[in-house]
Structure 1
Amino acid sequence: MKIVIFGATGRTGSEIVRRALRDGHEVKALVRTPEKCTPRQGLTLFQGDVRDTEAVKQLFEGANAVVSALGTDRTTTLTEAMPVIVEEMELHSVLRILTIGTAGILQSRNDPSKLRYEAGDSNRKLTFAAKEHHKVFDILRSSSLDWTIVCPTYLPDGEAVGNYRVERDYLPVDGKQISVGDTAEFAYQELIAGEHIGHRIGLSY
């Protein structure tokens, strides 16, 4: 499989890249600082900013799937980039996309008509990141793509240990955290298997 990855130098993105290369897939990644990536067989790096339409466009030829592990970092980078990514995927007939979101955009158990960040399910006072990921959710569900949004709760560093819980569109009950390793492992396996197309996936121990 030929996979395009945005956010390849981040915590979760770099772990997805490692798994994809381990299994013999070809990976293209757009990065601002190529020096942050160790050259490896099967990995092609493109230098540029994901907000630059021309930089984004060069990755999609021949691709089979796309991963966005872009964060928000208190900027609108994510929501500036996603419309271009979706447009280029549709132009190149690349249908499969998996993104890393946040548990804030899962449905609220207190008020299922709202998302968790809207209904106050979590204790987080800052909602900027959730609002950005909500915009991405809206963009993807109005597209023609086969999308999945992986929505981990609190995300500490850590290896994949398994035994995590998965639930469509909701956070598993009493879910508190999920490691970067297990988030990357689930996301990578879901990218390949496509068992949850058209859903947000709550992920926690």
Structure 2
Amino acid sequence: MKLVVFGASGRIGTELVRQGVAAGHAVTAVVREGSSLQVALPELRLVAARAGVAGGLTNVVTADVMDPLAIAPILEGSDAVLSTLGPRPSGSSSVLTDGARSILQAMDGAGRFLVVSVAGIHSTGDDPFTKYVVKPILQRILRESFADARRMEELVRAGDVDWTIVCPPRLTNGAAKGKFRSNTAGTVRGGFSMTRADVAAYLLRAVDDAELIRKTVVISN
């Protein structure tokens, strides 16, 4: 498949590019001005070779995700667009909302779009301690970034594309566990953390999963 990855210089984005190449996908990694892919192209080619795949053609493109006219040509011919843009940890931010709006405008109502959000803004199915103690604390600490994630999700749900919103919990940098739980009807009980490598693996599996189209899914290890 031909995949376009926004936020490719981030830690989930890096894993997504690496794993996508290893799986034989043709990946276009989009990075912002002044940033760069955190994995070298020769390493990606070696990853593909070790996996014994013929695909893995990778392009690295520098572009402003907030400019729909600039990114529209990058999306031409793609099978799926994936956004791994991350919210700012503190302070006022609209990165997720503005990024999703620009990508949706560039997609012009057609295509497959998967975007990473956060599990913390969802509470359906939580146990009482998590719902009434843990989540309210997180809401106060991460008020601005959570608000941005909510606005982004509302915007994506209103779009005409075949969207999927993927919501992981607290992210870790550990090695991939190779397994995860998911729920499209609420949260994952006891799902407090997930490796970024496993988030990337889930996104790649979700790309061609028709059952996840127009669904919000909470995931966890």
TM (norm. structure 1) is 0.85
User: What is the match of residue 60 of structure 1?
Assistant: 75
Which has the higher Rg, Structure 1 or Structure 2?
2
Runs of 4+ in 1 over 4 A off after TM superposition: none
User: What is the match of residue 78 of structure 1?
Assistant: 96
Question: Of 94, 98, 106, which residue of structure 1 is paired with 2:114?
Answer: 98
Is the alpha carbon distance of 1:63 and 1:132 closer, same or farther for their aligned partners in structure 2, counting shifts above 3 Å?
same
Q: Which moved more, 1:101-110 or 1:131-140?
A: 101-110
CA RMSD of aligned residues (A): 2.4
Unmatched tracts of structure 1, length 5 or more: 111-115
CA distance, structure 1, for counterparts of residue 158 and residue 37 of structure 2: 36
Counterpart AA for 2:68:
T
CA distance, structure 2, for counterparts of residue 51 and residue 84 of structure 1: 5
Is the alpha carbon distance of 1:22 and 1:141 closer, same or farther for their aligned partners in structure 2, counting shifts above 3 Å?
same
Q: Give the structure with the larger helix fraction.
A: 2
**How far does residue 120 in structure 1 lie from its aligned partner after superposition?**
6.7
Counterpart AA for 2:216:
R
Unmatched tracts of structure 2, length 5 or more: 46-56
Counterpart AA for 1:67:
L
CA distance, structure 2, for counterparts of residue 106 and residue 197 of structure 1: 19
Paired residues for 1:1-205 under 5 Å: 1-32=1-32, 33-34=35-36, 36-39=38-41, 40=44, 42-73=57-88, 74=90, 75-90=93-108, 93=110, 95-109=111-125, 122=135, 123-124=137-138, 125=140, 126-205=142-221
Identity of aligned residues (%): 29
CA distance, structure 2, for counterparts of residue 82 and residue 129 of structure 1: 14
TM (norm. structure 2) is 0.80
